[in-house]
Chain A
Amino acid sequence: MSAPPSSSPLVLLLVTLVTLISYPFFAAAASPSLPPPRGMKILVLLDDIAVKSSHSLYFSSLSSRGYDLDFKLSDDPSASLRHYSHYLYDGLVLFCPSTERFGGSIDQAAILDFVDSGHDLIIAADVNASDLIKEIATECGVDFDEDPSAMVVDHLSHAVSEYEGDHTLIVANNFIQADIILGNKKIEAPVLFQGIGHSINPANSLVFKVLSASPAAYSANPNAKLSSPPSLSGSTISLVSVMQARNNARVLISGSLSMFSNRFFRSSVQQYGATIRHQKAGNEQFLTEISKWIFHERGHLQAVNVRHNKAGEVDEPAMYRINDDLEYSVEIYEWSGTSWEPYVANDVQVQFYMMSPYVLKTLSADKKGVFSTNFKVPDVYGVFQFKVEYQKLGYTGLSLSKQIPVRPFRHNEYERFIPTAYPYYGAAFSMMAGFFLFTFVHLYNK
């Protein structure tokens, strides 16, 4: 599930050693010496070797960030994702929309296993995309238009181009509102897109549209007369979608291969009817930023050092007593692409949970990555859990739970003398004294 190199024991040992040695020197640094979330080896499958050069800008942006790209033709008989249980790559780019069948040991199931074991995937489909590619996308929760020759057509927001009347080269600027996915810098120029559209099931919480079409768009064969209403239309059409699986594997699905091309990266863009002409399309910024997200350079959270203790103590107890005051803290770091930085947020909550949350408190962050709170254990005994369920758009999910029993009072932890019971104490003792006196009088009063 984790990246292959880091899972080997030797590397783990090395990391541990480095951690141990470097700890005294860098103790003050906020970022912990955790391994990065992802490795750098990426397999790129192409169905035409020319794509390597026609899309070189995109690939060079990846390799300039340190990725080790391995280009293979999709029907290469030596292609393989795994060697026994060991995955050879950390990411996979499928720039082979027309491939009907992969070479080597790769097939649809192998790719899905690759994702299910926590690796990332970029899929670019295109007009006349093969059933194989569409089926992989479907498995990831994205439904391409079933008409094989359909394209996204937009008669309003298409790019001004030399071929008047070609409304399939559309400009899109309907981005997802999430800085964590698309970066802090606003994408000024619209993105050029030419390809097929897809839809996603709104009930599917794992997939979301990153770039959707304008309300005027529809999906149909541009060369044929539109006989029936298009199956996909309006802003339900998604041009680019991402899926974050429950194991945090990320998948990018695009309906266009050409939007990754050098031609689209370099081309200037002017929307039909608009006055401004952008010197450069937004494709490069958009796709570079989103590839950073896909390959976990952004939005990857890591929680470490879950601690809880009684107020005023340091050690973690094996069990709490009802009505104890306790402190809970967890350190959360975010991967910035180069190092782990303290995560800053004010919406992380902890539950003290036994069938339902008895305590729900927002953790306060100290800007150094430590999220902490303190609360009183409820007056209920049982087996509780500290639960942190943090699911935020664009971030990997955090799901921490730590079981802790809560016991009732011990027999000698109750109050010994209760003020309201003093009349009863008095009654008991006066009774004893009276009985003693009575015996004395009865025996000797003759």
Chain B
Amino acid sequence: MMTSGSPAAGGSLRHAFGGVLSFFILVLIGVLAFSIRLFSVIKYESVIHEFDPYFNYRVTQFLTKKGIYDFWNWFDDRTWYPLGRVIGGTVYPGLTLTAGTMWWLANSLNIPLSVETVCVFTAPIFSAFASWAAYLLTKEVKGPGAGLTAAALLAMVPSYISRSVAGSYDNEAVAIFALVNTFYLYVKTLNTGSLFYATLNAISYFYMVCSWGGYTFIINLIPMHVLLCIVTGRYSSRLYIAYAPLVVLGTLLAALVPVVGFNAVMTSEHFASFLVFIILHVVALVHYIKGILSPRMFKVAVTLVLSVGIVLCFAAVAILIAVVAASPTKGWSGRSLSLLDPTYASKYIPIIASVSEHQPPTWPSYFMDINVLAFLVPAGIIACFLPLSDASSFAVLYIVTSVYFSGVMVRLMLVLAPAACIMSGIALSEAFGALTGSIKFQLLASSDPQDNAGDATPVSVLPENGKAKIDKAEETTKERGPSKKNKKKEKDVVEKASVSHRPENRRAEKKLRALPIESSVMGILLLVLLGAFYVIHCVWAAAEAYSAPSIVLTSRTHDGLHVFDDFREAYAWLSHNTEVDDKVASCYRRQQYLEQHTYCNCWYAMSSPEKAAWEIFNSLDVKYVFVIFGGLVGYPSDDINKFLWMVRIGGGVFPHIKEPDYLRDGNYRIDSMATPTMLNSLMYKLSYYRFVETDGKGFDRVRRTEIGKKNFKLTHFEEVFTTHHWMVRIYKLKTPRNRIRGKAKKSKSKATTSSGSTISPKTKKNPWQ
């Protein structure tokens, strides 16, 4: 990988030197990418963050213990109770298999790493790989200088860091590498026309399919590019080699992944690739026929084929429309539809919309996640058009589509990040190239115009060095520039700095570069400053914003750092105090922590009143209910804030749950103005039970209001555990009463009698068994 960094037209010592230098730069970029993601380990501890990663970790443990076949066929009866989950058929196995292989490799080399260690460090390792893949891709687009800059940018882009810090063991950790790598191999094939790379491309695509559902982005983007090439008259045999094997092999391989299976040929996400596949063949056929026929004969053939073809086309399109229209979602999965129509999910599928990652991002999040790259991207796009090649048109298409998708779903910022890095890398590299080139040109023009043997290394290496070495390089330019000049060699290098296989008008370029030397130096300084701000922002984001494992929370106040370890406190309580087969109901994606417990998501039960909820839980055999509550410490992502989503989801299944019942004049509130339905819902009760005892008023620090109903009792649930900061509250379902009271005297007991009598006596265990 490294050696390929050296310019192809090597031979001279200088080029070898450039190759070695870029090799070391790439190694350093890898180290940077790895080490910038270690803040979480250093600041906290080597733990796996969040909730999905825990599930992935559990799956990996199973894989390392039981082997791949048992993993494939694993039916997990502890998650998604009572339906269970067929793990092998519902997870993307790429991440797990990767980590499992790394663990196996380390262990067979007698490096006794634990599975957890491997899982924690998978994401940083793969982010280094992703940087290198970005280098390769950008090198194919705009040369090694742009490649190195792009790799350096990608190594520390905050958007990517947010999903790949050490401990963030999620699909995206390996998927971004796979994504960029697939694009690289596609562009490489497009540039070389080599069947070898085409095969590698299909395999890389397979790895991507294994890793992440985002593979549909690839299988739509590449056909779009192929179509673009065909439409703009860029069809070539290289294009055919790059695309046809990918579709055939890639689809076959994708169908091997259990979670994809027949989706690879049956859902609309993949139809575009097949359509373009057909179009490509038609175009290839036309080209072939054009080659063997005379122009006049060709014209006749065209009219003949067109008239027949149009009829056939109409028939085919009609069939296709009929087939697609017959399926309920028009053949598109809900998540994909929400990409095309951003309002789709919120209208029809609340369970998808409820995930905060699926919301559209806000403008500040662009600045937070890609920082200065947002301003460099347009420059990069312009650079890609000077001149437009197959490869650079692909890069443009990539950035345009990913910008759109990131605007729909905040999670897809992650797809945008590599594209933005590549574009910015190109922009920076071109800018440096132009500025240093003009400095050189000016110095050349000011000194005597005689031909000297010029050491043009600075020019070629400068963009590769990236901003870190700019100052030094600038010096060398000043020192060495005037000393030795060789026009011919300089021209060679200039040519290399731009795309190697696309010669340009050298005169025009020189004129373009002919900036005054002061403004060039100033421009370089400003660019370096921009880069420095980017680095500072990235390190800050990595250290402060994205490294906190969400199972341990910290907050800084005037009296120091507070650590909230309530989640683990609660899980420890559960593991010590409940039986192996007890079911714990939690309401929001938190089911993965403890292996020995069964969890279920009872969205709708939470929005019901207490008694109805008790019956629902009881029918599901649930013994404990687990509530996240942030009102005491101000932890915003608690269950009350997510409650509205539960209501929406519940309303989708049980029409008697209506969202307006929980809203007062369209506002979601829990204070004294809240609706009775809201105040009587189980979620409200479980969250605020005894809350008034803490400060006497019941002031909720998340919602910044006093709660509406303060003193109430629970009849069907009892509180068994509340953590130190009240962030996790665990309730136990009461068993039905042993006796049913008569109604005499205590008129108050009448209600309990009648309610009690409807409780089925099932759950009480026979004491003699």
Chain A contacts with B in 119-175, Cβ cutoff 8 A: 134-135, 137-144, 146
A203 touches B620 (CB 8 A): no
**Would A403 and B581 be within 8 Å (CB), given that A355-B620, A383-B77, A383-B83 are in contact?**
yes
**Would A411 and B73 be within 8 Å (CB), given that A355-B82, A396-B766 are in contact?**
yes
Q: How far is the CB of A4 from chain B (nearest CB, A)?
A: 13
Question: Which chain B positions have C-beta within 8 A of A142?
Answer: 742
- Is B615 interfacial (CB-CB < 8 Å)? no
Q: Which of A141, A246, A383 contacts B736 (CB 8 A)?
A: A246
- Is B81 interfacial (CB-CB < 8 Å)? yes
- Is A303 interfacial (CB-CB < 8 Å)? yes
* Selected interface stretch from B7-15, B203-211, B307-315, B753-761: B753-761
Q: Which of B82, B620, B738 contacts A247 (CB 8 A)?
A: B738
A262 to B735, CA, bound (A): 43
Chain A contacts with B in 185-238, Cβ cutoff 8 A: 200-201, 203-207
Q: Which of B258, B598, B745 contacts A383 (CB 8 A)?
A: B598
Question: Which chain A positions have C-beta within 8 A of B337?
Answer: none
B739 touches A411 (CB 8 A): no
Q: Which of A246, A385, A406 contacts B764 (CB 8 A)?
A: A246
A406 to B84, CA, bound (A): 9
A207 touches B740 (CB 8 A): yes
- Is B296 interfacial (CB-CB < 8 Å)? no
- Is B737 interfacial (CB-CB < 8 Å)? yes
**Would A249 and B768 be within 8 Å (CB), given that A138-B745, A143-B744, A410-B73 are in contact?**
no
B761 touches A303 (CB 8 A): no
Closest chain A residue to B89 by CB distance? A408
**Would A206 and B740 be within 8 Å (CB), given that A382-B82, A405-B84, A407-B75 are in contact?**
yes
A112 to B744, CA, bound (A): 17
Q: How far is the CB of A54 from chain B (nearest CB, A)?
A: 29
A405 to B69, CA, bound (A): 19
- Is B86 interfacial (CB-CB < 8 Å)? yes
- Is A243 interfacial (CB-CB < 8 Å)? yes
- Residues of A within 8 Å of B, CB-based: how many? 56
Q: Which of B75, B82, B620, B743 contacts A201 (CB 8 A)?
A: B743
A258 to B753, CA, bound (A): 31
- Is A43 interfacial (CB-CB < 8 Å)? no
Q: How far is the CB of B644 from chain A (nearest CB, A)?
A: 26
Q: Which of B742, B762, B765 contacts A143 (CB 8 A)?
A: B742
A205 touches B757 (CB 8 A): yes
A135 to B738, CA, bound (A): 17
0/1 string, B12-41, CB within 8 A of A gives 1 = 000000000000000000000000000000
- Is A68 interfacial (CB-CB < 8 Å)? no
B742 touches A411 (CB 8 A): no
Question: Which chain A positions have C-beta within 8 A of B744?
Answer: 134, 138, 143-144, 146
Question: Which chain A positions have C-beta within 8 A of B739?
Answer: 112, 115-116, 139-141, 206, 243, 245-246
Q: How far is the CB of B601 from chain A (nearest CB, A)?
A: 14
- Is A399 interfacial (CB-CB < 8 Å)? yes
- Is B110 interfacial (CB-CB < 8 Å)? no
- Is A118 interfacial (CB-CB < 8 Å)? yes
- Is A87 interfacial (CB-CB < 8 Å)? no
- Is B694 interfacial (CB-CB < 8 Å)? no
Q: Which of A2, A118, A144, A319 contacts B77 (CB 8 A)?
A: A319
- Is B767 interfacial (CB-CB < 8 Å)? yes
Question: Which chain A positions have C-beta within 8 A of B769?
Answer: 302-303, 400
Q: Which of A37, A115, A203 contacts B738 (CB 8 A)?
A: A115
A134 to B763, CA, bound (A): 29
Q: How far is the CB of A201 from chain B (nearest CB, A)?
A: 6
A389 to B742, CA, bound (A): 26
Closest chain A residue to B621 by CB distance? A385
0/1 string, B48-92, CB within 8 A of A gives 1 = 000000000000000000000100110101000111101011000
- Is A1 interfacial (CB-CB < 8 Å)? yes
A389 to B621, CA, bound (A): 14
- Is A282 interfacial (CB-CB < 8 Å)? no
Q: How far is the CB of B31 from chain A (nearest CB, A)?
A: 41
- Is B741 interfacial (CB-CB < 8 Å)? yes
Q: How far is the CB of B579 from chain A (nearest CB, A)?
A: 11
- Is B619 interfacial (CB-CB < 8 Å)? yes
**Would A201 and B84 be within 8 Å (CB), given that A2-B768, A302-B768, A398-B766 are in contact?**
no
Closest chain B residue to A138 by CB distance? B742
Q: How far is the CB of B79 from chain A (nearest CB, A)?
A: 10
A-B contact count (CB 8 A): 133
A210 to B619, CA, bound (A): 33
B742 touches A140 (CB 8 A): yes
Most chain A Cβ neighbours within 10 Å, of B619, B739, B753, B763: B739
B86 touches A408 (CB 8 A): yes
Closest chain B residue to A131 by CB distance? B745
A354 to B632, CA, bound (A): 38
Q: Which of B75, B620, B740 contacts A408 (CB 8 A)?
A: B75
- Is A391 interfacial (CB-CB < 8 Å)? yes
Chain A contacts with B in 293-309, Cβ cutoff 8 A: 300, 302-303
- Is A397 interfacial (CB-CB < 8 Å)? yes
0/1 string, B684-704, CB within 8 A of A gives 1 = 000000000000000000000
Q: How far is the CB of B85 from chain A (nearest CB, A)?
A: 10
- Is A381 interfacial (CB-CB < 8 Å)? yes
Closest chain A residue to B754 by CB distance? A203
Chain A contacts with B in 332-357, Cβ cutoff 8 A: 354-355
A247 touches B767 (CB 8 A): yes
Question: Which chain B positions have C-beta within 8 A of A115?
Answer: 738-739
Q: Which of B619, B621, B761, B768 contacts A246 (CB 8 A)?
A: B761
- Is A248 interfacial (CB-CB < 8 Å)? yes
Question: Which chain B positions have C-beta within 8 A of A112?
Answer: 739
A391 to B765, CA, bound (A): 12
Question: Which chain B positions have C-beta within 8 A of A134?
Answer: 744
Closest chain B residue to A300 by CB distance? B768
Question: Which chain B positions have C-beta within 8 A of A385?
Answer: 621
Most chain A Cβ neighbours within 10 Å, of B75, B620, B753: B75
Question: Which chain A positions have C-beta within 8 A of B89?
Answer: 408
Chain B contacts with A in 229-283, Cβ cutoff 8 A: 258
A418 to B757, CA, bound (A): 55
B738 touches A116 (CB 8 A): yes
A141 touches B75 (CB 8 A): no
Question: Which chain A positions have C-beta within 8 A of B86?
Answer: 381, 407-408
Question: Which chain A positions have C-beta within 8 A of B88?
Answer: 411
A248 touches B77 (CB 8 A): no
Question: Which chain A positions have C-beta within 8 A of B765?
Answer: 399
B764 touches A383 (CB 8 A): no
Question: Which chain B positions have C-beta within 8 A of A137?
Answer: 742
B84 touches A246 (CB 8 A): no
Question: Which chain A positions have C-beta within 8 A of B72?
Answer: 411
A249 touches B738 (CB 8 A): yes
A437 to B466, CA, bound (A): 56
A37 to B769, CA, bound (A): 11
**Would A143 and B768 be within 8 Å (CB), given that A204-B753, A405-B75 are in contact?**
no
Question: Which chain B positions have C-beta within 8 A of A383?
Answer: 77, 81-84, 598
A37 to B764, CA, bound (A): 17
Q: How far is the CB of A98 from chain B (nearest CB, A)?
A: 18
Q: How far is the CB of B596 from chain A (nearest CB, A)?
A: 13
20 interchain pairs (CB within 8 A)? A2-B767, A112-B739, A116-B738, A137-B742, A138-B746, A204-B742, A206-B740, A206-B761, A246-B739, A247-B766, A247-B767, A300-B768, A302-B769, A303-B766, A319-B75, A354-B82, A405-B77, A407-B75, A407-B84, A411-B72
Residues of A that sit less than 8 Å from B by CB: 1-2, 37, 112, 115-116, 118, 134-135, 137-144, 146, 200-201, 203-207, 243, 245-249, 300, 302-303, 319, 354-355, 381-385, 389, 391, 396-400, 403, 405-408, 410-411
**Closest 7 pairs (CB-CB, A-B):** A405-B77, A407-B75, A143-B744, A246-B764, A1-B767, A138-B742, A203-B757
Query: 13 extra interchain contacts, Cβ-Cβ under 8 A, other than A138-B742, A397-B761, A411-B72?
Result: A115-B739, A116-B738, A138-B746, A142-B742, A143-B742, A143-B744, A146-B744, A201-B753, A247-B766, A248-B767, A385-B621, A399-B764, A410-B73
